[in-house]
Chains A and B, each alone.
Chain A
Amino acid sequence: MDAESLLLSLELASGSGQGLSPDRRASLLTSLTLLKRDYRYDRVLFWGRILGLVADYYIAQGLSEDQLAPRKTLYSLNCMEWSLLPPATEDMVVQTSVVKGRFMGDPSHEYEHTELQKMSEGEKVFEEEVVVQIKEETRLVSVIDQIDKAVAVIPRGALFKTPFGPIHVNRTFEGLSLSEAKKLSSYFHFREPVELKNKTLLEKADLDPSLDFMDSLEHDIPKGSWSIQMERGNTLVVLRSLLWPGLTFFHAPRTKNCGYIYVGTGEKNIDLPFML
């Protein structure tokens, strides 16, 4: 959610029950403004909170002019002092996929994972058990990246693509209408499109290239991995991801308010197909 409308967004996203205490909110307001100034970001998003056993991580992201460019991620334990996280690489994701369970809450904590590695000494090739140390920071980075790629949501029309390439916030975005807001096809993944080129020509003909340049949520697998609800008597539409439980996207139809926040343990819900 945008740091500029933080209080309102927190209020609207609180239907899931996870909010922020008043002291955290106050510290966020100040520290996010300072972040924007220091790092010269165009927009600062408060991404959410990953619950750990000993402490929670508060995550913020900074965006540049081009909304789809890779974002800078920062974390903090007390909402005041922020540390920049390295960008995620595929190796990191692979490496941390073996770590299961809750986050500890201590960024320097190291998970130990034993795995069999083929070592060759001279002519012999044998397998040896190697204990690999995985830092929690790495795990944090890869989890945030996975969540962003999988379930970050933006409504259709909130961003538009200029002919020169960069993607801008659409300042004339008035919000989705009520009928559009209830359909999953009006929401896009907030990431580089993956499925777009697989569409048939007929489908592509209906698309508007300045607005429909991202994947829509409609074709997510498994089907039904999004729960869409109207709250507050139809004045607020809330999307909750069932694949990463804890991600809440809210949008007030016919207004500009929208945003998403993740408050959860950082664990993917692998049982999703069985639970539907």
Chain B
Amino acid sequence: MGDTPPDPEPRPQQPSSRRSSQVSQRRSRELSHLPPTISEEVPRIAFDDRVLQSGQGILASQNNFQDWSSGPPLTQQENLTMFQAEEDQLGGVEYPSLNMGFQPQPYLEEGGIQAARNTSLMQPLQQGQGSLFQQLNSAYLETQPNFLGQFNMYQGEDLQFNQGAPHGPYMRDDPALQYSPSELGFMPFNVEVPEPEPRELAVQNAKAYLLQTSVSCSLSLYEHLVNLLTKILNQRPEDPLSLLESLNRTTQWEWFHPRLDTMRDDPELEPTYETADRQKGLFLRSGAAGEGEQEMEEEVAETAVPNVMETAFYFEQAGVALSSDESFRIFMALKQLVEQQPIHTCRFWGKVLGLSRSYLVAEVEFREGEEEGEEEEVEEPMEGGEGLDAHAEEEGEEDEEEVTDVIPKPMWKPPPVIPKEESRSGTNKYLYFVCNEPGRPWTRLPHVTPIQIVQARKIRKFFTGYLDAPVISFPPFPGNEASYLRAQIARISAATHISPLGFYQFGEEEGDEEEGGAGRDSYEENPDFEGIPVLELVDSMANWVHHTQHILPQGRCTWVNPLQKTEEEEELGEEEEKADEGLEDMEQEVGPPLLTPLSEDAGSLRTSTLAGATSTVPRTSTPPCQPPFSTSTPAARKSWK
């Protein structure tokens, strides 16, 4: 790579100009320093051209080149051995002929022998004519700029080189051998050509071999090795021999996959940057405007944003934790949510893992009097459904008239739809917002209906991460992934939200007995709570109580008799009176009341309690005790139904 010289101009038209440049490279004594030698090479290139033109034509010479290139290792070996053997033999017979004239013909015998003779001859030539060269050297330097002129001079001498026999491999390297000093009108070319020693010649040949490239690949072995060794020397890895193969592969790969220009964007990293921008918005919002600072101070007391970092710290002690920067981002995202929606209380409920994306769930309560607009939307499809049923019945009647045979009407009536619970009560006590990642907008989940809870109990599906994905299961789930998620959240909350005994108490304003045996459904914090020692909390399940309502098999927290006729049902269901008689009486379903200790749970062996192992855990449970957030996998692991 570093040796590729810029092509000097006087070699424009040669089809094998590239080859000749390689030849000139071969000639350079030093492998890496070009400028001092380029002046030497230029005149040689002139020689090359003529040498190539002459003879059997360019093709033949190219063939020779090829042969030469494949041959050199052997011939060089031969050269060197023969050279060494003949070192002392100056080839006395041939020596005088050298002085007489450099006739190319004697040297155009078989290539190998020729080479040997050449090398053996070159050495004495150098020794003998060293002084002569020095004298001529100075002459050369003076006339250096005129080499172009000399180039023209020599064209006339092409005839000398029309050889019938193929050129020997080293012929072209040695203009000194081809031109007798007396024939040349100008010596400096010869002088300046420091006869390459056979070893160096061998090196040059080897290098030219390594530099060849093939049609399929523009990377030559020489360049590749240069890259590889440079890389190793720069990086200096330990034990490079064992890494050789990997480094080799990496270097090759890097050659064909160059680093993009710094001005261009890396397409692979686009989504990363987008997400980072989005999350930057999270952080900037908190320090929005300097003007609003005073307002923010006033609002601090009322802010509904939970202290996520504090709770995350406690959970981390327990071994359940998201990493701290993720917790902080969640905190920022919750703050964003509080600013956007009229929220009274907010809590980070947890993270639900999905196949493509995960959900972050926030449990919020709107302020008193805030209407949720989604209720109306949900009712419309229900009414649409009822309209369709009526239409189907009409069509059935028409068919009956036309066909003589009365098609028996199916006796099966779908079970009555159990109405969902009101907002702020039972399973719909809280509203849930989800987002996929901190920085993305929060989506509100619809209220859950009892039928969804009942069906969710029967199926087990993974969440994909997209709220509008259908839930394909058997028995079929009525709704899409958003409803399934909401149903699972409801089940998890109802089953696993616990607190130490005494932390919550019932408000005294409610009556002790309520109609129908429906349990109390609200509680408040007990201001007199003093904490229970940790050991007691671990030992006995009775010290923990549920503070969310249990969901009945019906799917609601408070029982509703679906057979009670409301006004709507009476309008549509006059025909259903007959069917009602066939149904069994629905028994009222009763569940354990609020604030029931865990020891009453069915299958209570499945809950596990572990005490913190270190002494840093305080002796008594700390007052700011909030219900643990549930980080549930899609197959929600629960302690009881």
Separation in Å of the B459 CB from the closest CB of chain A? 8
Contact among B250, B326, B437 with A14 in the assembled complex (CB-CB below 8 Å): B326
Inter-chain contact A172/B608, CB cutoff 8 Å: no
Inter-chain contact A235/B272, CB cutoff 8 Å: yes
The verdict on A117 contacting chain B, using a C-beta distance below 8 Å, is no
Q: Which residue of A lies closest to B321 (CB)?
A: A19
A102-B606, A172-B250, A275-B461 as given contacts; A14 in contact with B322, CB under 8 Å: yes
Inter-chain contact B319/A20, CB cutoff 8 Å: yes
Q: Which of A155-192 contact B (CB under 8 A)?
A: 160, 162, 168, 170-174, 177-179
User: What are the interface flags for B309-340 relative to A under an 8 Å C-beta threshold, 1 for contact and 0 otherwise?
Assistant: 00000001111111100100000000000000
Contact among A20, A51, A234, A275 with B634 in the assembled complex (CB-CB below 8 Å): A275
Inter-chain contact A233/B275, CB cutoff 8 Å: yes
Q: Which of B618-641 contact A (CB under 8 A)?
A: 631, 633-635, 637
The stretch that binds B, out of A21-29, A131-139, A195-203, is: A21-29
Inter-chain contact B246/A53, CB cutoff 8 Å: no
Inter-chain contact B635/A271, CB cutoff 8 Å: yes
Contact among A51, A52, A171, A269 with B635 in the assembled complex (CB-CB below 8 Å): A269
Separation in Å of the B427 CB from the closest CB of chain A? 24
Inter-chain contact A162/B242, CB cutoff 8 Å: yes
Q: Which residue of B lies closest to A208 (CB)?
A: B249
Separation of A51 and B319 alpha carbons in the complex (Å): 11
Contact among B237, B271, B608 with A233 in the assembled complex (CB-CB below 8 Å): B271
**What is the predominant secondary structure among interface residues of chain A facing chain B?**
loop
Separation of A275 and B63 alpha carbons in the complex (Å): 70
The verdict on B167 contacting chain A, using a C-beta distance below 8 Å, is no
A170-B246, A179-B268, A245-B633 as given contacts; A229 in contact with B358, CB under 8 Å: yes
What is the interface size of chain B, counting residues whose CB is below 8 A from a CB of the partner? 52
User: What are the interface flags for A237-276 relative to B under an 8 Å C-beta threshold, 1 for contact and 0 otherwise?
Assistant: 0001010011000000000000000000100010100111
Inter-chain contact B275/A21, CB cutoff 8 Å: no
Q: Chain B residues with Cβ under 8 A from A91's Cβ?
A: none
The verdict on B462 contacting chain A, using a C-beta distance below 8 Å, is yes
A-B contact count (CB 8 A): 119
Separation in Å of the A4 CB from the closest CB of chain B? 16
Inter-chain contact A275/B460, CB cutoff 8 Å: yes
User: What are the interface flags for A124-162 relative to B under an 8 Å C-beta threshold, 1 for contact and 0 otherwise?
Assistant: 000000000000000000000000000000000000101
Inter-chain contact B245/A53, CB cutoff 8 Å: no
Inter-chain contact A19/B316, CB cutoff 8 Å: yes
Inter-chain contact A265/B637, CB cutoff 8 Å: yes
Separation of A162 and B319 alpha carbons in the complex (Å): 41
Separation in Å of the B619 CB from the closest CB of chain A? 17
Contact among A53, A178, A230, A240 with B608 in the assembled complex (CB-CB below 8 Å): A53
Inter-chain contact B462/A172, CB cutoff 8 Å: no
Separation of A258 and B631 alpha carbons in the complex (Å): 24
The verdict on B247 contacting chain A, using a C-beta distance below 8 Å, is yes
Separation in Å of the B256 CB from the closest CB of chain A? 14
User: What are the interface flags for B259-275 relative to A under an 8 Å C-beta threshold, 1 for contact and 0 otherwise?
Assistant: 00000000011011011
Q: Which residue of A lies closest to B634 (CB)?
A: A275
Q: Chain A residues with Cβ under 8 A from B462's Cβ?
A: 227, 242, 275-276
The verdict on B382 contacting chain A, using a C-beta distance below 8 Å, is no
Inter-chain contact B356/A227, CB cutoff 8 Å: yes
Separation in Å of the A38 CB from the closest CB of chain B? 23
Q: Chain A residues with Cβ under 8 A from B495's Cβ?
A: none
B interface residues, Cβ below 8 angstroms from A: 237-238, 242-243, 245-247, 250, 268-269, 271-272, 274-276, 278-279, 316-323, 326, 350-351, 353-358, 437, 460-462, 473, 605-606, 608, 610, 612-614, 616, 631, 633-635, 637
If A21-B316, A229-B355, A246-B633 are given as contacts, then 6 extra A-B residue pairs at C-beta distance below 8 Å, sorted by A number, are A14-B321, A17-B353, A19-B321, A172-B247, A233-B274, A242-B462
Query: Could you show 11 A-B contacts with beta carbons less than 8 Å apart?
Result: A15-B326, A17-B350, A19-B322, A21-B317, A51-B608, A52-B608, A168-B242, A178-B268, A233-B275, A233-B278, A271-B635
**Which 4 pairs between the two chains have the least Cβ-Cβ distance?**
A233-B275, A17-B631, A234-B272, A178-B268
